[in-house]
């Protein structure tokens, strides 16, 4: 039996516009394509970094993050510091 232990386990990346911070946990992503099909100005897997936090207003970003079906995307408001997982 071959067991592969990824060094990518439990990665959590953060992207902040000073108001909201979007978090992304790649190991949870189901590649549903929902985020980048619905808010392409922010989520674009062809780019690096693939999240452009300046690509939309904070409220639009939050609403899109809430649509993530896997929980890979989350966010917190910078002034509160609380996690609001999608």
Residues at the contact surface with ligand SF4, assessed by CB under 6 A: 29-35, 68-70, 72-73
User: Which C-beta is closer to ligand SF4: that of 27 or that of 78?
Assistant: 27
Contact 61, 75 (CB under 8 A): yes
Contact 65, 85 (CB under 8 A): no
Taking Cα atoms as reference points, which of 47, 51, 21, 45 lies closest to residue 33?
45
User: Which C-beta is closer to ligand SF4: that of 70 or that of 84?
Assistant: 70
Please report how close the Cβ of residue 55 comes to ligand SF4 at its closest, in angstroms. 14
Please report how close the Cβ of residue 69 comes to ligand SF4 at its closest, in angstroms. 6
User: Which C-beta is closer to ligand SF4: that of 31 or that of 48?
Assistant: 31
């Amino acid at each position: 039996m071959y067991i592969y232990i990824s060094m990518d386990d439990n990665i959590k990346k953060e992207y902040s516009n000073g108001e909201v911070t979007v978090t992304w946990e790649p190991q949870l992503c189901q590649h549903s394509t929902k985020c980048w099909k619905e808010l392409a100005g922010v989520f674009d897997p062809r780019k690096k970094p693939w999240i452009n936090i300046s690509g939309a207003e904070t409220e639009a970003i939050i609403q899109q993050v809430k649509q993530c079906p896997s929980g890979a995307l989350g966010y917190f408001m910078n002034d509160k510091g609380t996690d609001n997982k999608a």
